[in-house]
Each structure stands twice: as C-alpha cells, then as structure tokens.
A and B are shown apart, each in its own frame.
Chain A
Amino acid sequence: DTGVSQDPRHKITKRGQNVTFRCDPISEHNRLYWYRQTLGQGPEFLTYFQNEAQLEKSRLLSDRFSAERPKGSFSTLEIQRTEQGDSAMYLCASRAAGDGYTFGSGTRLTVV
C-alpha cells in the first residue's frame, strides 16, 4: 500500500482519558501534516513536520495536544485529558517537496 495510513480508524474514549493516533506517511514524503475536521466543516490545520522537525503549530493545538515524528517517518498525535469538544476526524497528510498532498482516511474520535 503506497498511501497514507492512519490508525486506528475509529476511537471511542471517555472524557478525561488520553488517546494517541498514528500516521504512516508515504515513505519518500518528508512533510507530514495533521488536520482536524468537525462535522460539516473543512479540515483545519493543526501542525506539520518536515522530517522530524515540527515547523508550525496552529492556535488550535492546545497544550493538551502533542505531536511527534521522532525518526522523520511515522507521526503520533496525542490528546491528553480528552474533552467532548475534541470529538472530530483527525486527518494526516504527507507530501514531498513540490508534490501534491496525499491524505489518509482519518481517525474518527468520539469522546463520551
């Protein structure tokens, strides 16, 4: 499979719990992006990496959110002390310089 892979596809968690999502980009893509999408809205930018360096973080990325890409390959997005407002689809995308973006199918988070 040469696409962007996200795991898990669905996650249901209780409010206050921590969750972690994983994204495996296309192997030769050095840039990796995280987006959040709520129902009826377009995806909103959260953060992006070039190789292992996190280059930009959105104001949406509160201190409960942390993203890593330790070896410049896969990335994880962790949400601590989840709140109901965190319920959304979390999308990952990757690209190589000069190329277009490829999105994964997302992780749908439901906080109950």
Chain B
Amino acid sequence: GESVGLHLPTLSVQEGDNSIINCAYSNSASDYFIWYKQESGKGPQFIIDIRSNMDKRQGQRVTVLLNKTVKHLSLQIAATQPGDSAVYFCAERDDKIIFGKGTRLHILP
C-alpha cells in the first residue's frame, strides 16, 4: 500500500557536522519523492525532490539519495547550521502528497 515513513523520530547533530535523515517507502510504483522542512508554527517548506529515474540529486547544502532496490530515501545536509533545526518529512507525490511521520533535527552547539 501507500506509506512513507522515517526511521528515527529525533536526530541530534553537532553544529557543522553533516546530517543524514532516512526514509523508507513501501509503494514500489512511486515515481516522485520530495523532502520537506517544517519549522515550528509554519507549513512544510519544499527542500528538494527526486524522480525515480534518478538515484541522486544535489541542491545547495542538501543531497537526496534514492535506492529503489530497498525502497530507501535519504536527505543529507552538509555543515548543519542552527537554522536547520526543524522537522523533516519525506513525501511521495502523485495527485496529492503523502507524508511520513517526520524526523526532528536538533542542532547541538
């Protein structure tokens, strides 16, 4: 069935280190994935997306990796900054977006 989930509810990372947030999905027919960032009191904000015909896509300080064999998605944030503190959701999109539960990223000073 359709489901997108994240492995860890919380992740703590030292400021300046790289963060890796993981996500597993179950719908092998999914062909488009998105990572969102949600800060407190705000709606989800688009970070980066990837289509199923790709296995890697890079943005500014962020990289998304897609492993279709094991149905796994990850978001890598380079040189994590205090402003990266938020809840991160992976999501699958067809006509609508299906969100996972989210990982809260804490930045340690």
Binding site for B on A (CB under 8 A): 4, 33, 35, 40-45, 48, 55-56, 91, 93, 100-106
Question: With A42-B89, A106-B43 in contact, is A101–B97 under 8 Å at CB?
Answer: yes
Q: Which residues of B contact A4 (CB under 8 A)?
A: 43
The 7 closest A-B pairs by CB, nearest first: A103-B43, A42-B99, A45-B96, A103-B44, A43-B99, A42-B89, A105-B43
| A41 engages B101 (CB within 8 Å) | yes
A71 to chain B minimum Cβ distance, whole angstroms, is 22
**0 or 1 for each of B79-107: is its CB under 8 Å from A? (1 = yes):** 00000000001010001111111100000
Tell me the nearest residue of chain A to B43, going by C-beta.
A103
Q: Does B45 contact A (CB under 8 A)?
A: yes
A42 CA to B91 CA, complexed, in Å: 9
Q: Which residues of B contact A100 (CB under 8 A)?
A: 34, 46, 49
Binding site for A on B (CB under 8 A): 9, 34, 41-46, 49, 89, 91, 95-102
Tell me the nearest residue of chain B to A43, going by C-beta.
B99
Q: Which residues of A contact B43 (CB under 8 A)?
A: 4, 91, 93, 103-106
A-B contact pairs, 22 of them (CB 8 A): A33-B97, A40-B9, A40-B102, A42-B89, A42-B100, A42-B101, A43-B89, A44-B99, A45-B96, A45-B97, A48-B95, A55-B95, A56-B95, A56-B96, A91-B44, A93-B43, A100-B34, A100-B46, A100-B49, A105-B42, A105-B43, A106-B42
How many A-B residue pairs lie within 8 Å, measured between CB atoms? 47
B36 to chain A minimum Cβ distance, whole angstroms, is 8
A105 CA to B99 CA, complexed, in Å: 17
Other A-B pairs, 20, CB within 8 Å; known A105-B42, A106-B43: A33-B96, A33-B97, A35-B97, A41-B102, A42-B100, A42-B101, A42-B102, A43-B44, A43-B97, A43-B99, A45-B96, A45-B97, A55-B95, A91-B44, A93-B43, A100-B34, A101-B46, A103-B44, A104-B43, A106-B42
Q: Which residues of A contact B97 (CB under 8 A)?
A: 33, 35, 43, 45, 93, 101
